[in-house]
Structures are given as C-alpha cells and as structure tokens.
Amino acid sequence: MMNRQWVLSRIAKRVAVMLTAVLLLTLTNGFNWNTQTAEAAGTTPVERYGQLSVKNGRLVDKTGKPVQLKGISSHGVQWFGDLVNEDSMKWLRDDWGISVFRVALYTEEDGYIANPSLKNKVKEAIEAAQKLGLYVIIDWHILSDGDPNIHKNEAKAFFNEFATQYGHLPNVIYELANEPNGNVNWNNQIRPYALEVSQVIRAKDPDNIIIAGTGTWSQDVHDAADNPLPDKNTLYTVHFYAGTHGQYLRDRVDYALNKGVGIFATEWGTSDASGNGGPFLNEAKVWTDFLASRGISWANWSLADKNETSAALLSGANRKGGWPDSQLSASGKFVKQAILEGSSTNGGGGNNGGDNGGDNGNGGNTPGADDQGIVLQYRSGDTNAKDNVIRPEFNIKNTGKTAVKLSDLKIRYYYTDESKQGQQFFVDWAKVGNEKVKATFVTLPEPKAKADKYVEISFADGTGTIQPGGESGEIQPRIHAANWSHFDETNDYSYSASQTAFANWDRATVYQQGKLAWGIEP
C-alpha cells in the first residue's frame, strides 16, 4: 500500500512550486532585478528546474534533463553567520548568478553541539532560499570530530526536524556529513551512518536530494562508487582544493561516474587544503572545466571575509551584499566569473552543465542526455596542447532502445586553426576499421571565440550498427596542418588536456541523419 505521508508530501511539494511561482510573479511585477537577470518572473533556478532527482548518475531537473548547479558555501555560521541573510543571498543570485547556496553548520568547534540555537541561522537561509528561488544545501559540517557516528543521534534528530519542517519544498538538499576523516572508511563507518540518517530523512521527505560525504575529507568517492547507498536520489560529495588536489582525484571522480554514481562537489577552494596559499587559479580553472564537462554541480568555499585565500570577500565587506569587485578577493573574482560563465540569467548553472552552454536551437540542453539515444565520449590522446598534432579520441554509446547505423552519424570536433593551411586527417586505430572512418574540414562562416573550424568525422556505408546498450569502440584520429606547423589547443572549444579517460563530453557534437543528437555547438 502506498504510504499516505509520502503521497501528501509529494502533493505539498507541487503546491509549493506553484505558490513560489505566484509569489515571484507578484514580487517582480514592474520591477527589473538588474541587467544580469531575466526580464520576467518564473526564471529563478527553482522555477526553471523544479524538483531535482538523480537519473543514471546525473542530477536532473523536473523534466529529466541534466542540470549543473553552481554556487557558494557559507563559512561556519558560528563565525560568519551575519553574511548569511536574504539580502546577501539575493545579491549572490542577481550579481553572481548562483543557483545553489550551502549553509555550513559545524558540529564541533563552537558549533551546533555546543550551541543548538545555530540551527536558526540554517532555517533563515532555507526560508531566504525559498523566497529567492535558490536551491539550498543543509550541511552537517563534521570536521574535527572526524567520525560522523560521534554525533549520529544528534544528526538524526536534526535531520528529522528539518525534513519534517522543510521536506515539502522542492529546493532543499541534505548533506549528511561534510568531511569524514581520520580512522574511518566508507564501508565500516560512513556508509552505515549515512544509511541510518538517510532513512530518517526519507520517512519525512521521499524525494529531495541527499548528499553523502566520503572518506579522507570527502575524497574517497571511488569507495562509495563500489558500494553505493540504495537510495536512488543520493549523490556523493568530492571536496578539493586547487593547490593540493589534482589529476588523481579527478580520476577518482571519473571512476565513480563510470560506475554510474552521481557526484556533487559541495566544497572546493582556489587555495591549498589549509584555506591559504595561492590562489592557484590556473589549477582551479582545470577543475571548473572538468566539472563543467561532466555536468557536476558545485559550491565554492567560502562566503567569508576571513583573512585567508579561499575567502571570497575582503575584510570589512558589507554583510548585506552589494559588493563591487573591489570588495572581492582574487578567489572571489574568479569564482564569480566561473559561476557566470555559461550560466542562465538570474541563477547560475544550466541544463547542459558546460561553461559554454547556451541556446543552440535545443534550449541549452544536451541532446541525448536524457538517456534516450546517442552519447559521445571523449578523451585527449595528446596532453601537449602546443605541438603539431590534435588527437581527439572518441567512443559513441547507444543508450536508446533501437539500433543505430554508424553511417547515419557524424561527429564534429571544434578547434582554432592557427596554421591557416590545409588540414590532414589520419586514423591511427578504430575498432570499426580504420578504412571506414572518413573526415572533412569545415571553416565556420562566423568564427567563435574558441573555434573557427571543425572536423566532421563520418562512417562509410556498411560500417555496421551500434545495438541498444552498445558502443562503437575507440576511434583514434589525428589532425595535422599541411605544413606541419604547431596548433595552440588551449584555445580550442572541444579540447581538454585533463580529460585522459573516456567520459561523456558535450563540447563535441554528434549529428544523426543531419539532426543534432548530442552535444552543444560553440
């Protein structure tokens, strides 16, 4: 028999979405938020995306289309809670374009365990997010306590209260344990804790997103991927700091994604892991590009004017928002720009999960991303971005229900041609047969910022089909200028030096019988 409380919660949540739309229309009648925002109501992140869920390891919106949320985390509310208020969050929405706000409730370090009244600041943030149409992460911020089981009973009581009070809203996200660390691991301590606490939440809130922390300060996502929780709407968090964590951690994320597990980077910084050093902005850009290419949502650490590199604000910044760039730290300026890149107006993130997402005739969505057709995977066969060769490597997957003829498909890879010479195309290896893979080069009539040419890769008649659930196998082409001069791939739309393992890639496109089936055109 269907649980009556579950049904009532679903109905209440739908009513909440409709009431939010009416409230926004009323509040914004005749009032333009600013030049960064949309011209009409109904365009906040929650209005656009509605009830979130997890599908095939990806965060998706109310229609099942992938979405990437981008935003910022508070620092500990016991120290910087005065920066967490409706005015500052509205500024972050309208000026920075955030779609998600994370409110960090430390357990220890003069946090909730010593001062339970701090939960009122979390409630203030939730209620502000509801008014503003933002998603909000309730972060149970374990740190010095290490083992989440130390305060498991308090966590269960806390999440029971919050799921009861706010679980009917579509914008609430529960983060169960910020950074488990010390002598704990996923299977023995973290997973049993997460299972128990998530069951408490699900008794009151059947479908809002839950995020589970992982071992070693939320870096052991590979362990969670090997033994995930049974709840279908659970994601797993990875935390990184650009000056400390590099390719090995991105490889762990790819491992988890390839196992079908969804990831949310609920905390990351431009500094090293101490919060200081740097800022390491080049390394941070590698990370934000990586997250965008995989559609992984994120929240930066932190909204604070603390004297440390990772703080977004300079000392003495206004507690209510309204910050000019002169009141932002180097990290804050970088993060603001990273949110705005590829973001829809009035709230960061987009259904394509890419920095360059926009309207290409598909509403900014990645065709095929609803798991009903073609998926293109990519890796870079050459991480030297400034030599005389371009080596994009591909694998095409068929996630639909009918066989796909390879001769009906064409891949487009977009790049800048510094040589202005004729182009040469070679196939080093292809599972379908080297001789079956052909290419033509096309110069864009209107050059883009990161592309003035594309190579269109096609397949000869009789190459074969990709059965449902199957794949083409590796295709390893190589491109040279006619005079063998060097390219500069750092400027190329479809290129990523950090992508050395196959993963879904929406910056190259696939056309099926002439119709865009996957990816985002530049």
What is residue 383's three-state secondary structure?
coil
The crossing angle, in degrees rounded to 10, of helices 119-132 and 152-166 is: 30
**E strand or H helix at 161:** helix 152-166
Q: Which residue is catalytic, options 179, 393, 489, 521? A: 179
| DSSP states along 239-291 | EEETTT--HHHHHHHHHHHHTT--EEEEEEESS-TTS-S---HHHHHHHHHHH
Nearest to residue 176, comparing CAs of 253, 233, 121? 233
Bridge-based pairing state of the strands 374-380 and 392-398 = antiparallel
Query: Do residues 65 and 57 make contact, with C-beta atoms less than 8 angstroms apart?
Result: no
- The contacts of residue 356 (CB under 8 Å, 6+ apart) are 341, 342, 450, 493, 507, 520, 522
Specify the DSSP element, H or E, that contains 141. Answer: strand 135-141
DSSP state, 111?
S
Contact of 422 with 464, CB cutoff 8 Å: no
- Annotation says 161 is catalytic: no
Alpha carbon 511 to its chain centroid, in Å, reads 25
- Point out the catalytic residue in the list 109, 127, 161, 267: 267
Cis previous bond, 367, omega within 30: no
- State both tokens at 284: 């941070």
Catalytic residue list contains 521: no
Catalogue the active-site residues: 179, 267
